[in-house]
Amino acid sequence: MKSKRTLAASVAALGLLLAACSSSATTAPSGSAASPAASTGGAAGAAACQGKTIAVIVKAGTSTYWKTVGSGVDDAKAEFPGCTITFEGPDAETNVTAQIAEVESAVAKKVAAIVIAVTGADQVLPSLQKAADAGIPIILIDTNKEFAPKKAFVGTDNTAGGKAAGDYFVKTVGVKAGDKVLIIRGQAGDAVHNLREQGASDVLKAAGATVIVQPADSDRAKGQSVMENVLQANPDLKAVFATNDEMALGALKAAQQANKTIPIIGFDANPDALASVAAGGLTGSIAQFPKKIGQMGVETAVKVIAGETVDASVNTGVELVTKDNVANFK
């Protein structure tokens, strides 16, 4: 009897140890604020992924934001060392042709899954359909699309992010009927920037503001040029929302050169933007959690490869960063 009791106690202790390890593995790191914890693909996923390749394709391989997504992919590589996980993207978000070529290459290599942030409007979808027809699971990250074969979408509620910017302008800055607000947005037709613009625009128009929308292709220099032109025609501009931080930083430079203090909110909370917020430059930035998008996108693909059920949509969260809470994000 004594030996049975000892065995039972050992099993119970082992169970507690495993539970504790599981809990610590999903705890968000210190300073991650509202960043959701990742859910791992598990042992079954790791086994199913062994010796296979997952292709992660983003909109651009060069920007700070997409490099942060890539750091999340690197975390996933550490979770699944037996799986080959590649990471690539065009030289610019407007280079749709290059992304199509990357998808076609992944199909030719017969990868086990494609995790992709689709650029452009719908030009990439026929190549993704070719991948789906070849039996390759498609996980969309960052940018959701009406694409029936997709297994899941992992990313930000971009409408909520835009709404948070609009709410700040109305409730804190005091934007009201008759005020002019500029929205500088990314590439025309890009679904992510459509949603961010729409979220902010709906709130601002409901307050009676006049909303001016100009594209700047997610580029800092173009954001500066747009801001310069709009300020010349609208010197009474009340506020600016840019649908990414690069354009927001360009708009800030134009405002500073014109000796104007105008509230400007960007989107992404990249390091340059956070530094600017802390220094009193940008008013704020909508933080999303690109590292989690990369990591959880791969984890979702691993689950699909293993035949596990996955959520159709995985929301990775948003939060407005201002000078009051920027220390939590830096």
* Same-domain status, 151 and 299: yes
Could you tell me if 84 and 140 lie in one domain? yes
> Does the pLDDT of residue 6 top 50, yes or no?
no
Q: Is the pLDDT of residue 34 over 50?
A: no
Does the pLDDT of residue 122 top 90, yes or no? no
pLDDT recorded at residue 189 = 84
Of 60-64, 195-199, 216-220, the poorest mean pLDDT is in 60-64
Mean per-residue pLDDT, 119-129: 90
Please check whether residues 282 and 162 belong to one and the same domain.
yes
Q: What pLDDT shows up at residue 101?
A: 97
In tens, the pLDDT along 244-274 reads 999 999 999 999 999 999 999 999 999 999 9
Q: Is residue 283 packed enough to be buried (19+ CB in 10 Å), middle (13-18) or exposed (0-12)? A: buried
- Residue 3 or 241, more confident: 241
Q: What pTM was computed for the model?
A: 0.70
Q: Mean pLDDT over residues 222-247, rounded?
A: 98
Q: Is the pLDDT of residue 58 over 60?
A: yes
123 pLDDT higher than 50: yes
Q: Is 205 part of a structural domain of the chain?
A: yes
Same domain, 46 and 117: yes
181 sits in which H/E element = strand 180-185
Is residue 22's pLDDT more than 60? Answer: no
Please report, rounded to a whole number, the percentage of residues in the chain having pLDDT higher than 90: 76
Q: Is residue 5 part of a domain?
A: no
Q: What is the secondary structure of 230-265 as a DSSP string? A: HHHH-TT--EEEESSHHHHHHHHHHHHHTT----EE
Which tens digits make up the pLDDT trace of 64-76? 889 999 999 999 9
Residue 309 CA to residue 305 CA, distance in Å, equals 10
Asked if residue 112 and residue 216 are part of one domain, the reply reads: no
Say what the alpha-carbon torsion angle 281, 240, 94, 246 is, to the nearest 10 degrees.
Answer: 0
The confidence band for 299, taking pLDDT boundaries of 50, 70 and 90, is very high
Query: Same structural domain for residues 283 and 163?
Result: yes
Stretch 112-140: mean pLDDT, rounded?
Answer: 95
Helix ranges, the chain (H): 2-25, 42-49, 64-79, 96-108, 125-133, 158-168, 191-206, 220-233, 245-257, 271-278, 290-305, 326-329
Residue 156 confidence (pLDDT) above 80 = yes
The yes-or-no verdict on residue 5 having pLDDT over 90 is: no
Q: What is the CATH number of the domain that holds 71?
A: 3.40.50.2300
Structure tokens at 240: 């600016």
Q: How many domains does the chain have?
A: 2
**Cα 137 to Cα 232: distance, rounded to the nearest angstrom:** 50
What is the rounded (10 degree) CA torsion for 272, 269, 64, 152?
180
What is the average pLDDT score of the chain? 88
Is the residue at 179 inside a domain?
A: yes
Could you give the 3-state DSSP secondary structure of residue 212? strand
- Is residue 88 included in any domain, yes or no? yes
Please check whether residue 164 lies inside any domain of the structure.
Answer: yes
How much is the pLDDT for 48?
Answer: 86
Confidence class for position 42, pLDDT limits 50, 70, 90? low
Q: Are 118 and 206 in a shared domain?
A: no
229 and 164 belong to one structural domain: yes
CB of 254 closer than 8 Å to CB of 272: no
Residue 44 inside a domain? The answer is yes
Give pLDDT, residue 72. Answer: 97
183 lies in which domain range? 158-287
Asked whether residue 23 carries a pLDDT value surpassing 70, the answer given is no
Flag whether 324 is in a domain.
Answer: no
Question: Contact 147/171 with Cβ under 8 angstroms?
Answer: no
- Beta strands at 113-116 and 84-88: parallel, antiparallel or unpaired: unpaired
Q: Are residues 283 and 293 in the same domain?
A: no
